A and B are shown apart, each in its own frame.
Chain A
Amino acid sequence: MSLEDAFDEPAFVPYLCVGDPSVERTREYVEALVRGGADVLELGLPFSEPIAEGPTIQGSVVRALEAGVTPEVYLDFVSSLDVDVPIVCMTYYNLLYQYGDSDGPEAFVARAAEVGISGFVIPDLPAEEAGPLRDACDEHGLDLVFIVAPTTEGERLERMVELSSGYLYVQARMGVTGAKADVSDQTGESLAKVSQYDIPKAVGFGVSSGDQARRIVEAGADGVIVGSALVDIVAEHGDADGDDVPERLEAMARELSEGVAAGAENMAKPEGQ
Chain B
Amino acid sequence: MPAVQELEDAYERYVLGNEDGFVDEFRRRLRDFGGRPTPLQRADRLSERLGCEVYLKREDLVHGGAHKLNNALGQVLLAKYMGKERIVAETGAGQHGTATAMAAAHLDMPCEVYMGTRDIQRQRPNVFRMRLNGSEVNPVSAGRGTLKEAINETMRDWATNVEDTHYVIGSVVGPHPFPEMVRTFQSVISEEAREQVREKAGRLPDSVVACAGGGSNTMGAFHEFVGDDEVSLFAVEAGGSSLAVDEEIGVAPNSASLSTGTEGVLHGARTKLLQDSDGNVVESHSVSSGLDYAGVGPELAHLVDTARVTPVNVDDDAALSAFHLLSQEEGIIPALESAHAVAFARANPEQLGELTVINVSGRGDKDLESVIEETEKRELENAPSMDVFGRAAGDGGGI
Pick the interface stretch among B128-136, B228-236, B271-279, B301-309: B271-279
Tell me whether A126 and B264 are in contact in the complex, defined as CB-CB below 8 angstroms, given that A48-B280, A49-B281 are known contacts: no
Q: Contact: B2 with A94, CB < 8 Å?
A: no
Contacts known (A174-B162, A175-B156); A49 close to B278, Cβ less than 8 A: no
Residue from B152, B250, B275 in contact with A51 in the complex, judged by beta carbons closer than 8 Å: B152
CA–CA, A58 and B149, complex, Å:
12
In the assembly, what is the distance between CA of A96 and CA of B1, in Å?
20
Say how far B133's CB is from chain A's closest CB, in angstroms.
Answer: 27
The residues of A that contact B162 with a CB separation of less than 8 Å are 151, 174
Asked if A52 is at the interface of the complex by the 8 Å CB criterion, the answer is: yes
Chain B residues, CB < 8 A from A47: 279-280
Cα of A92 to Cα of B156 in the assembled complex, Å: 15
Shortest Cβ distance from residue A92 to the other chain B in the assembled complex, whole angstroms: 8
What chain A residues lie within 8 Å of B267 (beta carbons)?
Answer: 49, 51
Tell me the minimal C-beta distance from A43 to chain B in angstroms.
17
Interface string of B135-165 (1 = CB under 8 A from A): 0000000110000100010011001111100
Chain B residues, CB < 8 A from A188: none
**How many residues of A are counted as interface, with CB atoms below 8 angstroms from the partner's CB atoms?**
32
B146 to chain A, nearest CB (A): 13
Minimum CB–CB distance from A76 to chain B (whole Å) comes to 14
- Asked if A54 is an interface residue, CB under 8 A from chain B, the answer is yes
Q: Confirm or deny: A2 has a beta carbon within 8 angstroms of a beta carbon on chain B.
A: no
Q: Would A49 and B5 be within 8 Å (CB), given that A70-B278, A94-B279, A126-B268 are in contact?
A: no
Asked whether, in the complex, the Cβ of A98 is within 8 Å of the Cβ of B142, the reply is no
Min CB distance B20 to A, Å, is 24
> How far is the CB of B158 from the nearest CB of chain A, in Å?
9
Cα A151 to Cα B175 in complex, Å, equals 17
Considering the chains assembled together, what is the distance between the CA atoms of A99 and B275 in angstroms?
13
Contact of B159 among A52, A103, A126, A153 (CB under 8 A): A52
* A-B pair number, CB within 8 angstroms: 79
B273 and chain A: residue at smallest CB distance: A94
A176 and B159: CB pair below 8 A?
yes
| Chief secondary structure at chain B's binding surface | mixed
Give, as a whole number of angstroms, the nearest-CB distance from B276 to chain A.
9
A94 contacts B142, C-beta separation under 8 Å: no
Q: How far is the CB of A178 from chain B (nearest CB, A)?
A: 10
- Tell me, yes or no, whether B3 is within 8 Å of chain A by CB: yes
Number of interface residues of B (CB under 8 A): 31
* Known contacts A49-B148, A126-B175, A175-B156: A99-B279 contact under CB 8 Å: yes
Q: Report how far A103 CA is from B262 CA in the complex, Å.
A: 11
Q: Mark B234-276, 1 if CB is under 8 A from A, else 0.
A: 0000000000000000100000000000011111100001010
Within 8 Å of chain B (Cβ to Cβ): is A124? Answer: yes
**A57-99 vs B, Cβ < 8 Å mask (1 yes, 0 no):** 0100010010000111000000000000000000011111111
- CB distance A151 to B278 under 8 Å? no
Contact status of A174 and B163, CB under 8 A, knowing A51-B155, A71-B278: yes
List the B side residues contacting A124 at CB < 8 Å: 265, 268
Is there a chain B Cβ closer than 8 Å to A149's Cβ? yes
The listed residue with most B CB atoms (<10 A of its CB), out of A92, A94, A152, is: A94
Q: Whole-angstrom distance from the CB of B306 to the nearest CB of chain A?
A: 17
Residue contact A95 to B159, C-beta cutoff 8 Å: no
Please pick, from A51, A98, A149, the residue contacting B279 in the complex, using a CB distance under 8 A. A98
Provided the pairs A49-B152, A98-B278, A175-B159 are in contact, do residues A151 and B2 lie with their beta carbons within 8 angstroms?
yes
Q: Is A237 an interface residue (CB 8 A)?
A: no
Chain A residues contacting B280 (CB-CB under 8 Å) are 47-48, 65, 94-95
Q: Counting CB contacts under 8 A, is A193 at the interface? A: no
Whether the Cβ atoms of B2 and A51 lie closer than 8 Å is no
| Distance A264 CA – B250 CA, assembled complex (angstroms) | 47
Within 8 A of B (CB), among A204-246: none
Q: Are A98's CB and B163's CB within 8 A?
A: no
Structural contact, B268 and A97, CB atoms closer than 8 A: no
Contacts of B3 in A (CB 8 A): 151
Q: How far is the CA of A93 from the CA of B271 in the complex (A)?
A: 13
Residue pair A126, B279 in contact (C-beta under 8 Å): no
CB neighbours (8 Å) of A174 from chain B are: 159-163
CA of A146 to CA of B192 in the docked complex: distance in angstroms? 45
From B143, B265, B278, contact of A93 by CB (8 A): B265
Q: Are A95 and B2 in contact (CB under 8 A)?
A: no
Which residue of chain B has the shortest Cβ distance to A69 in the bound complex?
B278
Residues of B within 8 A of A152 (CB): 2
Which among A62, A65, A175 has the highest number of chain B CB atoms within 10 Å? A175
Return A173 CB to nearest CB of chain B, in Å: 8
Q: Once the chains are docked, how many angstroms separate the CA of A153 from the CA of B3? A: 11
Residues of A contacting B143 in the complex (Cβ-Cβ under 8 angstroms): 48
- Binary interface profile of A, 130-156, with partner B (CB < 8 Å = 1, else 0)? 000000000000000000010111001
Contact B279 A95 (CB under 8 A): yes
Determine the residue in chain B with the shortest Cβ distance to A171. Answer: B159
Residue of B nearest to A96 (CB): B279
Centre residue among B263, B266, B280 by max chain A CB count within 10 A:
B280
Q: In the complex, which residue of chain B has the Cβ closest to the Cβ of A54? A: B156
Residues of the B chain whose Cβ atoms lie less than 8 Å from the Cβ of A151: 2-3, 162-163
A124 to B3, CA, bound (A): 13
Collect the chain A residues with CB atoms within 8 Å of residue B161's CB.
Answer: 174-175
Contacts of B152 in A (CB 8 A): 49-51
* 5 pairs of residues in contact across A and B, judged by CB atoms under 8 Å: A47-B280, A49-B267, A51-B267, A54-B156, A151-B3
Residues of A within 8 A of B (CB): 47-52, 54, 58, 62, 65, 70-72, 92-99, 103, 124, 126, 149, 151-153, 156, 174-176
